[in-house]
Amino acid sequence: MRVFKFGGASVKDAEGIKNVYDVLQKVGYEDVLLVVSAMGKTTNALEEVIKNYFEKSEELNSSVQEVKKYHNQILLDLFDDEKNEVFAAVNTLFSELEYFLAHNKSPNYNFVYDQIVSYGELISTTILSHFMSFMGIKTQWLDVRNFIKTNSNYRDAEVDWELTQATISKNVKKKMLNITQGFLGSDENNFTTTLGREGSDYTAGIFAYCLNAESVTIWKDVPGVMNADPRYFENASLLSHISYREAIEMAFYGATVIHPKTLQPLQKKEIPLYVKSFINPMLAGTCVSKGSDSEWQIPSFIVKRDQLLISLSSIDFSFIMEENISEIFALFHQFKLKVNLIQNSAISFSVCVEDKFENFKDLNPILSKKFKVDFDENVTLYTIRHFNDKAAQTVEQNKTVLLKQVSRETMQIVTKEN
């Protein structure tokens, strides 16, 4: 079985849905499992619904209606007859969403987030599945929450691999087109969980591992994995083949083409991962597989924006030792700050972190009791794999360098725009 993943950009409108059909016609769809994200910017729109829900905003109903209107237009563009059963199926999902908003009693933001935001994937796959059937391709729609079982760490759930393996291997039918949702799972109480933002790639990796898949293909709007983001760097080059090790390093440092968790289950079973273009599906793209790293030593640039640089120093000029560092990291873990760079001296300790849950405002007073705390918001972290002087100069030009760290193969630079 082959596993394909289509992200939100590939199914953002009716033309995108039709293009998925065209891609499958060209590359084949028998014995394929499709993992599909929410359409376009639906996740962002549902996050607005969640915000309005907690703020008891008068905008709650209109924000739900906006999501409805967006999907209804796609339905009207795809199907001639409003009596097609897909309209009722999508309306049922919206009714479930509205019922939850009206009757939920939990004040837990992360729990509510997962229950609401999941409807993006449920609706997109429902529409895609019905369109494939409409076009003559028989499909099996799978509710991924019945297959990927997790703990109850809402918004960043951990997979119960044993239970997930048993469920997937027993219930996924082969020799047909299966369609399921990315990003989602469920806990032991069957409440919806999510695997972390952009977790649909990881979903594809989970299914591939459990099904001993032939390959995974992530369909993107780019030709494959590039050595730099073309939005920020001119003359970005396609990396036609990279090893699991190099891809994991790039994903760890923040390369957005592949989700960091995706590669680990694939590497264990040596399942190749392809990153290909849904615009030009017959192009070779990038293959990530077992191999030597000696073939691709050109500099690769990874950019992480909206970072927070925190510098802690001793109030009494005492050393910052292992005990202090352990305590600091425990707090970062507690407040869900993701550390992307570490640098320390005798009496100071600096970290570049991602504060996606905006918890630093609560952590800062705690840190300030023991340390002098300085911080810079909205900084950019550049990581250069296989760096050289020219690559470093490219990054540093017209910027203020706040911190630089160099190892054998990797240079990391924290900058602020001048």
- Ordered by where they begin, the domains of the chain are 2-213 (3.40.1160.10), 300-417 (3.30.2130.10)
Q: Is 182 annotated as a binding residue?
A: no
The whole-number pLDDT of residue 292 equals 59
- Taking the C-alpha atoms of residue 161 and residue 152, their distance in angstroms, rounded to an integer, is 14
pTM across the whole model: 0.85
Q: Is 262 annotated as a binding residue?
A: no
Q: Express each pLDDT in 135-192 by its tens digit.
A: 999 999 999 999 999 999 999 999 999 999 999 999 999 889 999 999 999 999 999 9
Q: Express each pLDDT in 378-387 by its tens digit.
A: 999 999 999 9
**Sequence-ordered alpha helix ranges (H) in 104-199:** 109-117, 119-134, 161-171
Going by C-alpha positions, the residue among 234, 226, 245, 205 that lies closest to residue 286 is: 226
Q: Which tokens hold the place of 239?
A: 């990396």
Neighbour tally for 74: CB within 10 Å: 23
The whole-number pLDDT of residue 116 equals 98
Q: Is 7 annotated as a binding residue?
A: yes
Q: Is 231 annotated as a binding residue?
A: yes
Q: Is 6 annotated as a binding residue?
A: yes
Q: Is 416 annotated as a binding residue?
A: no
Q: Is 305 annotated as a binding residue?
A: no
- Taking the C-alpha atoms of residue 93 and residue 62, their distance in angstroms, rounded to an integer, is 17
